[in-house]
Amino acid sequence: MVKSADRVCNILKLVGPTRDGLRHAEIARVLNIPSSSLSGLRRSI
């Protein structure tokens, strides 16, 4: 799978079950994704 598609899947798996969502920094930290990369991925989804 393409790296960005894999990351998007991981983001959705992480955030999906949460009631209130997660902050940007929390997502980046948990998934070990640079904040700048996460910003681009979040814009695309």
Model confidence band, residue 1 (pLDDT cutoffs 50, 70, 90): low
Q: State what percent of residues in the chain have pLDDT above 90.
A: 64
Entry pTM: 0.81
pLDDT over threshold 80, residue 32: yes
Residues whose CB is less than 8 angstroms from the CB of residue 8 and which lie 6 or more positions away in sequence, other chains included: 41, 44, 45
pLDDT over threshold 70, residue 21: yes
